[in-house]
Amino acid sequence: MKKTLLATAIAGAAFASGAQAATIYNEDGTKLDLYGNIQIAYKNQKDAAGDSKDELFDNGSTVGFSGEHLITRDLKGYFKAEFEHEADEAKGAGNGLTDGDQAYTGLKGNFGDLRVGSWDPLIDDWIQDPITNNEYFDASDSNGLIVGLENREGNKVSYTSPSFSGFQFAVGTQFEGDAESYKGEAFGFDKVAKESDSNASFFGGAKYTAGAFSIAAVYDNLDNNDGTYTVTSTPAPTPSTFDYDAGDQYGITAQYTVDTLRLSLKAERFDAGEDAVADVDFYGFGARYGYGMGDIYGAYQYVDQDSTSVASSESSNEVILGATYNLSDAMYTFVEAATYDRDEDAKDGVAVGAVYLF
C-alpha cells in the first residue's frame, strides 16, 4: 500500500495530506477543503519468472474533501472522503473517480477522537508506516496471507485518546453484520465467497512519546476474516467449502528523531491460524533524512517464515532505498530501488515518478 502523502512528516519537503488544500468555505465555525494529487511514475520490476516488466502507471492519484464544524467550544464534528483515479489512462472505462480510498466521520475534542467509517488499519499507521512509508516500494507484510483482506478497511469504529503525559491509546472494532457477504479469491481460486455472521472484531494499540523518542504497540485479532468460505470457481473442487482461521497480527515499533533524521525499529508477527499458511516474523529498520530539498531514505527488513508451514518459503532480506527532490512547494520527484531476496529476483526493481499536490 502506497502512502506518499504521509511520508515526509519530519523532512524538508513539508508534504502531508491536505497540506496544499484549497479552502472552499470557512465561516461561522464551519470549514470545507478540497485537496488531492496527481502521481504518475515509471517502474521496471521483475515478475515471478524473473522477467523484467516495465510500465508507465498511476501511482495513487487522489481527490479528497474534508470538513469540520464546531458543535460546542470543546467539541468538533468532522469528515473526510477520498477518491482514487487513474491519471495515466483517464479516458479508459472505470478510470475516473470510481474507487474510494478512505471515508469517515467523527467527533473530536478534549475527550479524544471518536471515528466511524473506512480507513487504514491501525497496524499500518502505527507499526508499518514508520519503517517504509515510501512512494512505491514498501517492505512486505502479512496482508497477502490473509483471506478477505479487501474488506479490512471498512465498517470500523474507533476511539483514540488524547495524550496523557505522553501516553496515548486507541481501541476499535470492525463490525460485519449477517447482511454482509464477501466475494474474492484465495488459495489459488479466483472465486471465493463467504456469508457473514454478525461479528465485531477487536484492534487496539498504545503509544508513548517522550521528547524525540516514541514507542507504539498494536494488536489485531482479524476475527472478521474467519469463517466458512465457498469456492464458486468453475470447476469447483470437492469439497467446495473450507473453514478458515485468519489468526492474529501484532507488532511494536520504536522511533527516534534528531533534527531532520528519523530512525525506526520494528518487530511484527503474523500468527497464522491455518497449518497451510506460514507464521511470519518481520524485523525492520528504517531511516529518513531531510536534506533541505527533499528526503533520502532507506529500510532493511528480515522476513522469517515458519519453516514447518506447508506454504512457507525461505526467509528473506529486503532492502529499499529512495530519494525525493522538491521542485516547488507543490511538486516533487522521486526515485526508488528495491530488492526482496526472492526466487528469480521476483519483485526487485526501480521506480521514478513525479507528484503534484493541490
The confidence band for 197, taking pLDDT boundaries of 50, 70 and 90, is confident
Strand order in the sheet with 189-195: 181-186, 189-195, 227-231, 241-244
Q: What is the distance between the alpha carbons of residues 201 and 216, in angstroms, rounded to a whole number?
A: 20
The confidence band for 195, taking pLDDT boundaries of 50, 70 and 90, is confident
The confidence band for 110, taking pLDDT boundaries of 50, 70 and 90, is very high
| Topology of the domain covering 4-357 | Porin (2.40.160)
Grid-cell match 529512495, residue found? 322
Is there a cis peptide before residue 239, judged by omega within 30 degrees of 0?
yes
Q: Strand pairing partners for 66?
A: 33, 80
Model confidence pLDDT, tens digit, residues 119-151: 999 999 999 999 998 999 999 887 767 777 677
The confidence band for 12, taking pLDDT boundaries of 50, 70 and 90, is very low
Range with lowest mean pLDDT among 16-20, 260-264, 339-343: 16-20
In the chain, what are the domain boundaries?
A: 4-357
Q: What is the CA radius of gyration of the chain?
A: 21
Q: What is the distance between the alpha carbons of residues 268 and 142, in angstroms, rounded to a whole number?
A: 9
- What's this model's pTM, rounded to 2 decimal places? 0.87
CA quadruple 69, 71, 72, 76: dihedral, nearest 10: -50
pLDDT greater than 80 at residue 188 = no
Model confidence pLDDT, tens digit, residues 240-291: 887 888 889 999 999 999 999 999 999 999 998 877 777 899 999 999 999 9
Question: What is the per-residue pLDDT for 355?
Answer: 97
Grid-cell match 478540497, residue found? 34
Question: What is the per-residue pLDDT for 19?
Answer: 53
CA quadruple 95, 225, 265, 14: dihedral, nearest 10: 30
SS3 8: coil
In the numeric block, which cell numbers belong to residue 227?
A: 469463517
Question: What is the per-residue pLDDT for 16?
Answer: 37
pLDDT greater than 80 at residue 169 = yes
